[in-house]
Amino acid sequence: MIKLSNISKSFGKQTILQDVSVDISTNQITGLIGPSGTGKTTLIKCLMGMEKYDNGTIEIDNVTVPNRKLLNKIGYMAQSDSLYHDLTGLENIQFFAHMYGNKISKQTVQSILDLVQLEQDKKKLVQHYSGGMKRRLSLAIALINQPKYLILDEPTVGIDPVLKLSIWDQLHELKKDSTLLITTHIMDEAMKCDQLLLMKNKGIAASGTPQEILENFGVSDIDQVFLKLEEQEYENAAVN
Amino acid sequence: MRMLQLIKRICKQVLRDKRTLALLFLAPIFVITLLNYIFPDPDDEVTIAAVNVRDDVIDILEDNDMIVKQEKEIDIKSYLEEGNATGVLEEKDGEWTLTILNDNPMDEGPAIQGSSQAIMETNLNDLSDNIDDMINNMEDMSAGLEEMMENINEMMDQLPPEAAQNLDINTDLDVDTDVDTEIDSEIDMDEDPITVEYIYGDESYTFFEILNPILVSFFVFFFVFLIAGMSMLKERSSGTLEKLLSTPIKKSEIVFGYLFGYGIFAILQTAIIILYSVYILDMEIAGSITNMFIINILLSFVALGLGLLLSTFVSSEFQMIQFIPLVIIPQIFFSGMLNVDTMETWLQWIAPIMPLYYAGNTMIDVVLKGFTLGEIMAPLSILVLFIVVFVTLNIVGMRRYRKV
Ligand SMILES: Nc1ncnc2c1ncn2[C@@H]1O[C@H](COP(=O)(O)OP(=O)(O)OP(=O)(O)O)[C@@H](O)[C@H]1O
Ligand SMILES: [Mg+2]
C-alpha cells in the first residue's frame, strides 16, 4: 500500500508538488501521466526516498519513506538508462541482483531475459547495445528482485511496438503479485492502465480508471482531457 | 556481501579498461625512469677551457676531476655554443673570469664551483708564499738591526766618557730581535678548504635521490586520486550511482566498496612503484621497505577518499582535471622538496592540511634517514585521520542521492 498525504516539494523557489494526496491501489497498474516537467519523476523520486519532500508523509506498507529496508520491496527503473557500459548485459543483471542480497536462481534470470528478449545479447557489452536494448535491460534489472512495488519511469521509450505489446502483457501478469506505478507520454499505453493519475499544476488534476476519466470529461481520448483541463484553467483565470 | 560484489565489479571494470591499467602501472614507471636518467650524475666530468691560465691553477682543476683544455685565442661564445666545454676560464691582469652560457644550471653549477675553488686555492697558496717571503725579510731586517746596535755600542766605547754622557744615547735600546718567526708557514694546502660532514648518508645526495621517495608518494597520490575521482564521476553521470542507491545497499557499503575496490589497485600500484624504484633503479633506502609500503598505502587511501569526495563537486571529466592545479600541484611544494620551516608563516599554516606534506616528508625520513616505524607514528596517524575524515564526508555526501 503506497499512501501519499499532503506532499509538497519545491526546488528553491519553484514549487513542483503542492499538497498532493493520493493512494496507489495494490495489485493494479497505475499510470502517472501529465505534460513534461509537471513533476512525475520528482514524485517518483520522493517515493523512493531519493528526493526529500518538504511537507506531508509518504508511507509504503505503513513504513514512512525514506527507509532503506523498504527498497528491498521496490523495483525501480529510472527515466534515463543507468547501466554499466563496460559490463555485459548479464553482468549488469547479476550485479544488481546481488545488491538485493538474495541469490537469484538462474531460472529467474532466464525468464527475465526472455521477457525482454535479450537472451541472445546477454554476453554483449552494454556499450554495444542499441537504445531500445538498453531500455529493455533496465526493465529487466527493475524486475530482478521480484519486487512487491514496481516503479517504472517511462519504461517503453524506444521499444518497438511488437515488443511493447508483449511487455504490457507481462506487466499485467506481474500485477498478480505486484503493485505497479508507471509514467508514460503514450496515450494508448495510458489506456492500458487500471488506474490513471493526471498530473497538472503541481498536483493530481484527475484520477480514476481511464474509462471514468473519459466519461467525466466527456471526451474520447486522454489527450483531450488535458486540453479540457487547459480550457478550464483559462476560464478560471478569466473569472478571477 | 554487497560490498564484496561491488569490489568484484570494480575489479572487472578496471581490468577491462586497458587504458586505465596503463595509466595506473606504466605511466608512473615511465616517468620515474625518465627522471632517473634526466638528472646528471654528479660523478660526470666537467670540461673547462683555460685561456692564459697558470699551470698551478690547471693542476688544481685537474686534481678536482675536471677536464681542462688549454686554449689560446678563441671566440668564447661560439666555442661554448659548439659544446666544446662547459665554461671558459681566463686570467687577465690578475682578474679571473669564468664565462658560461647560463642555459644549463645543472652542468654549470659544478663548473662554477670547481673553478672558484681552484682559484681560491691558488690565491691561498700565493698568500702563504708571500707570508713566507715577508718573514724572511723581517728576519733579515732584525739581523741588520742587531748588527747596527753592536756597531753603535762599539763606537760608544771608543768615545771619551763626557762625550758619551752628552750624547746620552740609550744604549739599552731594547730591540726585540726575536720577531716571532713561528708563523706556521706549513699550512697544508693539499687539503680541501672545507670538509663536509654528512649526518645522513655518506656522500652528497643527488637531487634525484631526494626527489625519488617524494615522487613515489606523489605518483601514488596523483594517479589514485585521478582514477578514483574519474570513476566515481562516471558512476554519477551515468546514473548508475542513483540506480545503486535505489537498491537497499548502505551508503557506507558503497563508499567502502569503492575504497577497497580501487584500494586493491592502489596497493598494487604502490608495490610496483616502490619495488621498481628500489630494485631496478637502485634507489638506496636507509629505512625499511615495509615502512615505505605503510606510508604509501595509507596515502593511496587518502587519495581515494579525496578523489571520491571532489568528484561530487564536478559534473564533467574536464572539471575533474581542473582540480589538479588546485589540489595536486601545490602539494608538491610541501612534500619535502623544499623546507617548510623557512617558508612564510602563512605557508607554514597551509602545509599541515596537505596529505603529501606528511607522506613526502615521512618518505624522506624513512628512505634517507632510516627512521623506524615508531619514529613515523605521528605522521602516519595523521594520514589515518585524513582517511577517516574523507570517508565520513563521502558517506554524508551520498545523502544527495538518497536520504537514508
Ligand atoms: N534537482 C532539481 N533541481 C531543480 N529543479 C529540478 C530538479 N529536478 C527537477 N526539477 C524541476 O522540476 C520540474 C519537474 O521535473 P520532473 O523531472 O519531475 O518532470 P517530469 O514530469 O518527470 O517531466 P518528463 O515527463 O519530461 O520526464 C521541472 O521543471 C524540473 O526543471
Ligand atoms: Mg520524468
Average pLDDT on A31-52 reads 93
* Ligand that comes closest to the CA of residue A202: 1
pLDDT computed for residue A115 by the predictor: 86
Residue nearest to atom 18 of ligand 1 (CA): A39
Average pLDDT on A201-218 reads 92
Residue contact B246–A141, C-beta within 8 A: no
Average pLDDT on B266-294 reads 90
pLDDT computed for residue B204 by the predictor: 61
Atom from ligand 1 closest to the CA of residue A199:
21
pLDDT at B193 over 60: no
Average pLDDT on A74-85 reads 94
Query: Which amino acid, one-letter code, is at A128?
Result: H
Average pLDDT on B390-394 reads 95
Q: Which of A26-35, B172-181, B312-321 has the lowest mean pLDDT?
A: B172-181
Average pLDDT, chain B: 84
Task: Tell me which residues have their CB within 5 A of the ion that is ligand 2.
Answer: A 40-41, 79
Interatomic CA distance for residues A231 and A237, integer angstroms: 10
Give the model confidence (pLDDT) of B125-172 as tens digits: 888 888 889 888 988 888 888 888 888 888 888 877 666 566 555 555
* A203–chain B nearest CA distance, Å: 23
Identify which has the larger pLDDT, A158 or B377. B377
pLDDT computed for residue B312 by the predictor: 87
Distance A182 CA to ligand 2 centre (A): 11
Q: Phi/psi of residue B125, each to 5°?
A: -60, -50
pLDDT computed for residue A7 by the predictor: 94
The position carrying cell 571494470 is: B13
pLDDT computed for residue B249 by the predictor: 93
Please report the ipTM that was assigned to this predicted complex.
0.90
Of A13, A15, A38, the one to substitute when testing ligand 1's pocket (max ligand atoms within 8 A of C-beta) is: A38
Atom from ligand 1 closest to the CA of residue A154:
27
pLDDT at A41 over 80: yes
* Ligand that comes closest to the CA of residue A152: 2
pLDDT computed for residue A237 by the predictor: 83
Average pLDDT on B316-323 reads 89
Identify which has the larger pLDDT, A149 or A145. A149
pLDDT computed for residue B219 by the predictor: 87
pLDDT computed for residue A42 by the predictor: 95
Q: Give the residue from A131, A183, A198, A133 showing the smallest Cα distance to A153.
A: A183
Atom from ligand 1 closest to the CA of residue A35:
25
- Bridge partners (DSSP) of residue A200 are A203
Identify which has the larger pLDDT, B278 or B194. B278
pLDDT computed for residue A105 by the predictor: 84
pLDDT at B327 over 50: yes
pLDDT computed for residue B189 by the predictor: 46
pLDDT computed for residue B159 by the predictor: 76
Split at pLDDT 50, 70, 90, the class of B43 is low
Cis peptide before A66 (omega within 30 of 0): yes
Cell of A61: 506498507
Q: Which of A103-117, B92-106, B241-255 has the lowest mean pLDDT?
A: B92-106
Give the model confidence (pLDDT) of B13-36 as tens digits: 999 999 889 888 998 899 888 887
The model's pTM: 0.79
Binding site membership of A220 for ligand 1 (Cβ less than 6 Å): no
CA distances from B251 to A57, A144, B3 (A): 23, 21, 10
Give the model confidence (pLDDT) of B219-263 as tens digits: 889 989 998 999 999 999 999 999 999 999 999 999 999 999 999
pLDDT computed for residue B178 by the predictor: 52
Identify which has the larger pLDDT, B64 or B391. B391
pLDDT computed for residue B187 by the predictor: 47
Query: In sequence order, which residues have a C-beta less than 8 Å from that of residue B226 and are 6 or more positions away?
Result: B23, B307, B320, B324
Mutate to test the interface with B, among A46, A67, A68 (most CBs of B within 10 A): A68
> What count of CB pairs under 8 Å joins A to B?
75
What's the burial of A86, exposed, middle or buried (CB within 10 Å: 0-12/13-18/19+)?
middle
pLDDT computed for residue B169 by the predictor: 54
Cell of B380: 602516519
Distance A186 CA to ligand 2 centre (A): 13
pLDDT at B173 over 70: no
Identify which has the larger pLDDT, A140 or B67. A140
pLDDT computed for residue B44 by the predictor: 66
Residue A141: which H helix or E strand, with range? helix A131-143
Cell of B286: 636507509
pLDDT computed for residue A84 by the predictor: 96
- Bridge partners (DSSP) of residue A125 are A88
Rg (CA), chain A: 19
Interatomic CA distance for residues B41 and B115, integer angstroms: 19
Q: Does A49 reach chain B within 8 Å, measured CB to CB?
A: yes
Residue B91: which H helix or E strand, with range? strand B87-92
